[in-house]
């Protein structure tokens, strides 16, 4: 990862096949390979040699708006022997400080979305260390992407070429995705989930449909072409709503959180197979559920759920190397095993992995530890609740109280009494929310996850859009 060599091979065999269809146009494999080569030549010719901080990987930060241009720049960085790092202006604080702005020559068109960020005329930055002449190898540091989950400051995760490209064949075997597919990637490529989906499809020789942002309006037209899709769980119902009769979509690859209740059955009724997986930017694939039977280890992955908290640890060829610049984060490593602090129920041999949530979001209330995802899973059963986020609100005596913010969409406010009946029916006393709020739409990260940190800040500030349920 990335996959410039594979793209060049596909371009030699099928130069006229559409490689990427973006919001502003399409590009064939032949033109994608040519543009990537031109931009790689420009990157090598203009590589900075005065990188502050000394030696280290050559990182090319890519801040472009158009997905086609993003992928050209990613492939160019790969050909030039650099580590591409896609980011948006909102993620600027997480970009390593040693990156320098480098304007590409006018002959290079990666950067045609100029002006995305002040001070970067081409939209491409390069930070340079003392790297030898480039010769691709599996152990190259070849990809960086941001991971912040739903809380905290974004961190740039760096990984080797083999840590993702090696997982392509097992994923192909599970999903059936191949060169004749058209793969819908309906989110920002700065997300590791969507970035992986796009380059995986290019490695297979498929066509990538990359609108750049989730937008329900264009979905029906996109779904008249897509045979496969990668997305996060809460968007799958909307995708199914937009699915045209007789459309070619046959598989939806879903990662990032638990599937909403009943959505797998609904998808299968529409002829769409759901492949759900659990992983993390730092860990890549950990477990997969290809048939509704529960999460099982992804090929070549070993899993342990370690007491006393029930932390999930994984060992596999797909693990990342760590964070760029050695910044602190949730990733823990121990004798080739890694964990990001996710929690699970006990994991007997041969049984499915049953996740609970991220340990760093646990609420301490009156001596009890409450995992928000445990509470959210129960509250989603309530009528009128589209989604829900559970957080802790400060309390002078208990330390914190469990607080629920339910998403209602355009519907009426749910009854607090009805919500509390659902809570009493499925939650222990310490887990039941003491405070209830409603909001039309939960704030979300660019990848579609609930933005927990933003929501907690809005709760603390008394945001009037969060309506207290009496």
Report the alpha-carbon angle 131-195-301, nearest 5: 85
pLDDT exceeds 70 at position 239: yes
Q: What pLDDT digit, counting tens, does each position of 39-67 carry?
A: 998 888 776 544 444 456 788 888 888 99
pLDDT of residue 123: 58
Strands 322-323 and 25-28, sheet pairing: unpaired
Q: Could you check whether the bond before residue 399 is cis, i.e. omega within 30 degrees of 0?
A: no
Q: Rounded distance, CA 180 to CA 223, Å?
A: 16
Q: What pLDDT digit, counting tens, does each position of 289-312 carry?
A: 999 999 999 999 999 999 988 999
Fold for 4-164, please state it. Answer: Rossmann fold (3.40.50)
Q: Rounded distance, CA 61 to CA 56, Å?
A: 15
pLDDT exceeds 90 at position 219: yes
pLDDT exceeds 60 at position 176: yes
CA separation, residue 72 to residues 27, 44, 78, 189 (Å): 10, 15, 10, 12
pLDDT of residue 367: 64
Residues linked to residue 160 through DSSP beta bridges, in sequence order: 141
pLDDT exceeds 70 at position 342: yes
- Domain 362-468: give its CATH superfamily: ANL, C-terminal domain (3.30.300.30)
pTM of the model: 0.79
pLDDT of residue 61: 85
Confidence of residue 221 (pLDDT cuts 50, 70, 90): very high
Q: What pLDDT digit, counting tens, does each position of 117-170 carry?
A: 322 334 565 553 333 445 677 888 888 888 755 444 567 899 999 998 999 999
3-state secondary structure of 402: strand
What is the full DSSP assignment across 270-298?
Answer: TT-EEEEEEEETTTEEEEEESSSS-BEEP
pLDDT of residue 108: 44
pLDDT of residue 147: 73
pLDDT of residue 272: 97
| Sequence ranges of the domains in the chain | 4-164, 362-468
Find the DSSP H helices in 206-324. Answer: 219-222, 236-242, 263-269
pLDDT exceeds 60 at position 282: yes
Q: Rounded distance, CA 410 to CA 426, Å?
A: 27
pLDDT exceeds 80 at position 201: yes
pLDDT exceeding 70 applies to what percent of the chain? 84
pLDDT of residue 112: 38
Q: What pLDDT digit, counting tens, does each position of 385-428 carry?
A: 889 999 888 887 777 889 999 999 888 888 999 999 999 988 88
3-state secondary structure of 348: coil
Q: Rounded distance, CA 285 to CA 319, Å?
A: 8
Please state the separation of Cα 439 from the chain's center in Å: 24
Q: What are phi and psi of 111, to 5 degrees?
A: 130, 10
- What's the mean pLDDT when you consider all of the chain? 84
Confidence of residue 359 (pLDDT cuts 50, 70, 90): low
| Torsion of the alpha carbons at 32, 446, 200 and 226, rounded to the nearest 10 | -80
User: Which are the contacts of 375, defined by CB distance < 8 A and separation ≥ 6?
Assistant: 390, 402, 404, 423, 427, 431, 432, 433
> Residue 212's CB: how many other CB atoms inside 10 A?
19
Q: Report CA torsion sign: 191, 192, 194, 195.
A: positive
User: Which are the contacts of 399, defined by CB distance < 8 A and separation ≥ 6?
Assistant: 364, 365, 366
pLDDT exceeds 50 at position 114: no
Instruction: Please name which of 278, 292, 296 lies closest in space to residue 350, comparing C-alpha atoms.
Output: 296
pLDDT of residue 126: 54
1-10, 72-81, 197-206, 245-254: range with lowest mean pLDDT: 1-10
């Amino acid at each position: 990862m990335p996959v410039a060599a594979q793209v060049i091979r596909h371009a030699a065999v099928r130069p006229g096949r559409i490689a990427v269809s973006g919001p502003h146009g399409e590009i064939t494999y032949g033109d994608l390979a040519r543009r990537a080569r031109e931009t790689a030549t420009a990157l090598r010719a203009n590589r900075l040699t005065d990188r502050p901080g000394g030696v280290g990987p050559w990182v090319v930060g890519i801040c472009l708006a158009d997905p086609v241009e993003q992928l050209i720049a990613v492939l160019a960085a790969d050909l030039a022997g650099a580590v591409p790092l896609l980011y948006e202006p909102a993620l600027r604080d997480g970009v390593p400080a040693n990156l320098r702005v480098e304007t590409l020559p006018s002959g290079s068109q990666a950067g045609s979305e100029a002006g995305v960020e002040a001070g970067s005329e081409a939209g491409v930055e390069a930070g340079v260390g003392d790297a030898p002449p480039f010769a691709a190898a599996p152990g190259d540091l070849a990809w960086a992407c941001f991971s912040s989950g739903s809380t905290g400051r974004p961190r740039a995760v760096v990984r080797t070429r083999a840590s993702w490209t090696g997982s392509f064949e097992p994923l192909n075997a599970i999903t059936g995705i191949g060169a004749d597919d058209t793969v819908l990637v309906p989110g920002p490529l700065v997300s590791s989930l969507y970035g992986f989906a796009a380059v995986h499809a290019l490695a297979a020789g498929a066509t990538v449909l990359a609108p750049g942002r989730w937008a329900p309006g264009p979905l029906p037209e996109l779904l008249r072409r897509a045979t496969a899709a990668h997305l996060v769980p809460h968007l799958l119902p909307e995708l199914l709503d937009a699915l045209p009769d007789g459309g070619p979509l046959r598989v939806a690859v879903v990662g990032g959180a638990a599937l909403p209740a009943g959505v797998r059955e609904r998808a299968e009724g529409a002829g769409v197979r759901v492949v759900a997986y659990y992983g993390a930017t730092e860990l890549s694939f950990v477990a997969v559920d290809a048939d509704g039977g529960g999460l099982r280890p992804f090929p070549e992955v070993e899993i342990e759920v370690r007491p006393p908290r029930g932390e999930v640890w994984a060992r596999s060829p797909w693990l990342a190397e760590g964070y760029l610049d050695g910044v602190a984060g949730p990733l823990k490593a121990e004798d080739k095993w890694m964990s990001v602090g996710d929690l699970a129920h006990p994991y007997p041999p041969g049984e499915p992995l049953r996740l609970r949530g991220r340990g760093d979001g646990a609420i301490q209330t009156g001596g009890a530890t409450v995992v928000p995802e445990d509470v959210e899973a129960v509250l989603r059963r309530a009528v009128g609740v589209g989604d829900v986020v559970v957080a802790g609100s400060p309390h002078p005596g208990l330390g914190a109280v469990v607080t629920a913010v339910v998403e209602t969409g355009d519907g009426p406010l749910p009854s607090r009494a009805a919500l509390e009946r659902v809570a009493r029916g499925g939650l222990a006393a310490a887990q039941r929310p003491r405070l209830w709020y409603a909001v039309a739409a939960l704030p979300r990260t660019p990848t579609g996850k609930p933005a927990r940190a933003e929501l907690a800040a809005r709760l603390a500030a008394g945001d009037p859009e969060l309506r207290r349920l009496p």
